[in-house]
Structure 1
Amino acid sequence: MALNVGDKIPEILGVNQDGVEVKASDYTGRKLVLYFYPKDNTPGCTAEACSLRDNFGDLRKAGYEILGASLDDEKSHKKFIEKQQLPFPLIADTDKRLIEEFGVWGEKKFMGKDYMGILRTTFLINEQGIIEKIIGPKEIKTKDHGQQILNQ
């Protein structure tokens, strides 16, 4: 069952790159960009993360906190954050709990092959933890994603 616009996000979101539990209540009173991406250090995911990094100041001015999530483990996230100088945390959802709860696991195609994976999706969440907008895989522009969120 996927979460939709109007739904409240779960309290326990997962564990970040430092092994610290991340909760929805950590963001109460602030808007949240929760973005799901396929894999650390891949071209599209790096472009998306760097766009969010480059627009971080403006996103914060607009009242947003940023939180990324993928199947990668804490060690991979730590390296990705350091290499790309990301100013926001990443959730290591190695058991796919959050990915499945948000409904971003599905069939993908690459070079003529079908496989299951994370569908690149961004959730814009209000100050009370309610999903206000979902930017789906076909809508996301990885290189301009930060600006895309600001233009919502």
Structure 2
Amino acid sequence: MTHAKHLASALALAALALAAGCDEPSGASGKAAEKPSETAGASAQPAALKPGDAAPDVTFKLHDGREVKLSGLQGKQVLVYFYPKDDTPGCTIQAKGLRDGWADLQAAGLEVYGVSTQDAQSHQAFVEKYELPFPLVVDEGGAISTAFRVPLRNELSARQSFLIGKDGKIKQVWLEVDPKEHAAAILAAAKS
């Protein structure tokens, strides 16, 4: 009986982690779950943004209290990447990949903003723990996710990324993101 209880508990924890979208460092099995058409309430979910669409004119509240208006970044390429939760396996791999490729991303003229629904304190701890050189956006109410049409599951953003061109229009969209390959994919797109 004890073994059965432990197994049931482990399965329940695994299900919760998968629902959060951060347990899959490779993104392999998490990819299908992150497609907007397969999320809860998908019928009410507007169509995903696509290349050529104007980027939403939102104001980012950063982990350090600063605010940045996205339209004020025109003339620069901007990566806005959404991730489910600070300091979880897949999200950490993704953030560390961007950190480790930072010199190349900067050389390509790219500004990077990570967005999730945790508060500023959680973001600050994540930035400090992994020495992230880019800001994290506080999206506690999900308004930024909604503006970018990123699905929320259990109040956590799906893992999606948007590369915005210098003209303020979406240049490339990743609705399925492999955290291990994310930085390389972003760099290649920024250079194209």
Task: Please indicate the TM-score interval, normalised by the length of the shorter structure.
Answer: 0.7 to 0.9
Distance in 1 of aligned mates of 2:70 and 2:89: 29
Cross-structure match for 1:13: 59
Amino acid at match of 1:38: P
1:44-78 CA-to-partner distances (Å, cap 9, x unmatched) read: 00000000000111011112111110001111000
For 2:66 and 2:58, locate their aligned partners in 1 and report how far apart those are by CA, in whole Å: 11
- Tell me the number of residue pairs that the alignment of Structure 1 and Structure 2 aligns: 143
Out of 125, 132, 137, the position equivalent to 2:171 is 132
Provide the alpha-carbon RMSD of the alignment: 1.6
Displacement after TM superposition at 1:7 (Å):
1.7
1:150 and 2:187 correspond: yes
How far did residue 9 of structure 1 move? 1.8
Can you list the C-alpha shifts for 1:111-152, whole angstroms capped at 9, x where unaligned? xxxx56421001010012110110112xx2212211121223
Q: Does 1:41 find its partner at 2:87?
A: yes
Contact 1:3 1:101 in 2 (8 A): no
Structure 1: runs of 5 or more not aligned:
108-114
Matches within 5 A, 1:1-150: 1=46, 2-106=48-152, 117-137=156-176, 140-150=177-187
TM-score, normalization by structure 2: 0.70
Would you identify which runs of 4 or more consecutive aligned residues in structure 1 move more than 4 Å? none
Indicate conservation of the 8 Å contact 1:9/1:130, yes or no.
Answer: yes
Gaps of at least 5 residues in structure 2 are 1-45
Select the structure with the greater relative contact order (CA < 8 A; seq sep ≥ 6). 1
TM-score by length of 1: 0.87
Go from structure 1 to structure 2 and tell me whether the alpha carbon gap of 1:75 and 1:116 turns closer, same or farther (over 3 Å shift): closer
Give 1:87 shift. Answer: 0.3
Percent of counterpart pairs with the same letter? Answer: 41
Larger Rg: 2
Q: What's 2:14 paired with?
A: none
Query: More helix by proportion, 1 or 2?
Result: 2
Q: CA separation in 1, counterparts of 2:51 and 2:143?
A: 19
